[in-house]
Structure 1
Amino acid sequence: MRILFLGDIVGVPGRKAVIHNLARIREEESLDFVFANGENASGGYGLKAKHAKELLKAGLDGITGGNHIWKYKDLYSMLDGDGRILRPHNYPEQLPGSGVRVFRKEGFPPVAVINLIGRTFMPPIDCPFAAVETVLDALPAEVTVQVVDFHAEATGEKIAMGYFLEGKVSAVVGTHTHVQTNDAKVLSGGTAYLTDLGMCGAADSCLGMKPEIILDRYLTGLPRQLEAATGPGVLQGAIFDIDESTGKAVSMATFQREG
């Protein structure tokens, strides 16, 4: 089984890069499943329902979220009703949606996607380590392929999660920082790992945002509303191959493509 997981989609350039290129990439890379973090897809913050539908129509099998997933309330009904959209599982359970989805496709074993959010340098939240243990204990035995999107700020927390889940899940990929890291590997327990997938957004930007606004904030110290950058996009993520019979990863590599 060959899976592509794309980093945070940021604004119009990120959405366009995915929508215009995904079908070709699926064919060229012989992909069986494609997932992406979409929590910044609408204007750089949040995910509107109409943009979620566009991305799913373009060929994404599932969309994960993060700390901005709650911005647009029109998404809440999709979080509850559309099994392809996730929000971090360690948010309070009474909130809309779930952080665990099992994706089924004819000819392939089921794939569980687990969405978590970190605690270091992030708002207070339930422990992601305890949350994922509970999830894994509850998954049916037939679900041998499990992919974790850990939406976290601190690299150390992400690396710790990778080792915590080594041998327990098929892949652990980090999102949130929008900078693709250079540590793609398969851990000794058969878990594919990457600290951060990067982003799908404007290539000439500061984490997908307009550089001039970021610079002004640093130079003056004054608050300014960030805006998603414009211009040609870039697609970043990781491709990993999973042994369907064992759920173990056999390869892991970063992915980058001009959009």
Structure 2
Amino acid sequence: MQILFVGDVVGEMGMEMVDQYLPLLKKDLKPQLTIVNGENATKVGRGINEKLFKQIMKDGADVVTLGNHAWNNADIFDFIDDTKKLIRPLNYPGKDVPGNGYCELNINGVKAAVINLQGRIFMEETDDPFAKIDELIMHLKAEKFTVIFVDMHAETTSEKKAMAMYLDGRVSAVVGTHTHVQTNDAHILKKGTAFLTDVGMTGPDDGVIGMQYEPVINKFLTSRPNRFEVETNGDGILSACLIDVDKKDGHAKKIRPIMISQYQPYQS
């Protein structure tokens, strides 16, 4: 089974890149499962709304994951409970959290699950992601789920790698999001789990992780607060990865990073 995962969609340019290239990627790569992280999809680069969610699904996503900006757009509370294909971090604290932290799918007779987790280092307080996913995996294994994909939305490389090694052999893949820069460490862990520290972002390439660069530089120079706005000019980038999973045992066989940018034009 081929799984295509597209990294954090940022702003209008990110949506344009998804609209332009996701249908082409699906046509050429023919993945059986397509996942897109859409937590930065709004014009201001924080949160998602129903219109953008539906557009990402129309472009070819089967599941849309979120992250620490899940609640930044209040419109989400109007529709997240009505769809199982938009998932927020599983380990959000509190009772009666809107939405779901994972999605169950049946893909040509294969039971698959997509899980969204959020890290705790340099992030908002959440429940323990290790304990929460332990509980969920016990349920999924009891229900004979074979293919399990984890979007690990976290700030530090250590927390992402620790989660991947903790889950090695129990899930098909752990792929990091949030830091918006694609890392060069895609590989299969010893027990069969695919890992990539960060899949990277989809959006403006001529900024600092999607934001206009001048205010970011000014903050570094002055240590004073600056208002960050999404870059709307220049070239775009699409970051993703393709994972080949054995549908019988759920172990990954191969993981390949994908990047489309001004330096790496798309070639079918």
2:165 equivalent to 1:160: no
1:98-247 matches, within 5 Å, as 98-105=100-107, 107-139=108-140, 140-230=142-232, 231-247=234-250
Question: 1:16 is paired with a residue of what secondary structure?
Answer: helix
Greater relative CO, 1 or 2 (CA 8 Å, sep 6+): 1
> C-alpha separation between the residues in 1 aligned to 2:77 and 2:109?
29
Partner of residue 23, structure 2: 23
Q: Deviations over 1:9-68 (max 9, x none)?
A: 110111110011111111111222110111111121111221111111111111111111
CA contact (8 A) 1:77 1:96 kept: no
Which portions of structure 1, spanning 4 or more consecutive aligned residues, are displaced by more than 4 angstroms? none
Question: 1:104 is paired with a residue of what secondary structure?
Answer: strand
Question: 2:199 is paired with a residue of what secondary structure?
Answer: coil
**What is the aligned length?**
258
> C-alpha separation between the residues in 1 aligned to 2:111 and 2:74?
30
Q: Name the aligned partner's letter for residue 137 of structure 2.
A: L
> C-alpha separation between the residues in 1 aligned to 2:122 and 2:40?
18
CA contact (8 A) 1:110 1:145 kept: yes
> C-alpha separation between the residues in 2 aligned to 1:253 and 1:20?
21
Q: Name the aligned partner's letter for residue 52 of structure 2.
A: H
> How far off its partner does 1:214 sit?
0.7
> C-alpha separation between the residues in 1 aligned to 2:40 and 2:23?
21
Structure 1 residue ranges without an equivalent (≥5): none
CA contact (8 A) 1:4 1:31 kept: yes
Change (3 A) 1:176 1:170: same
2:72 equivalent to 1:71: yes
Q: Name the aligned partner's letter for residue 104 of structure 1.
A: N
Structure 2 residue ranges without an equivalent (≥5): none
> C-alpha separation between the residues in 1 aligned to 2:4 and 2:222?
40
> How far off its partner does 1:253 sit?
1.4
Q: Name the aligned partner's letter for residue 4 of structure 1.
A: L
> C-alpha separation between the residues in 2 aligned to 1:122 and 1:102?
27
Partner of residue 34, structure 1: 34
Question: 1:247 is paired with a residue of what secondary structure?
Answer: coil
> C-alpha separation between the residues in 2 aligned to 1:9 and 1:237?
11
2:54 equivalent to 1:91: no
> C-alpha separation between the residues in 2 aligned to 1:125 and 1:75?
19
Q: CA RMSD in A?
A: 1.3
> How far off its partner does 1:108 sit?
4.8
> C-alpha separation between the residues in 2 aligned to 1:212 and 1:120?
27
Q: Name the aligned partner's letter for residue 159 of structure 2.
A: E
> C-alpha separation between the residues in 2 aligned to 1:181 and 1:157?
15
> C-alpha separation between the residues in 2 aligned to 1:171 and 1:77?
31
Partner of residue 5, structure 1: 5
Change (3 A) 1:110 1:78: farther
Q: Deviations over 1:149-208 (max 9, x none)?
A: 110001001110010000000000000000111110011111000010100011111001
> How far off its partner does 1:72 sit?
1.5
> C-alpha separation between the residues in 2 aligned to 1:190 and 1:40?
31
> How far off its partner does 1:76 sit?
1.9
> How far off its partner does 1:104 sit?
2.7
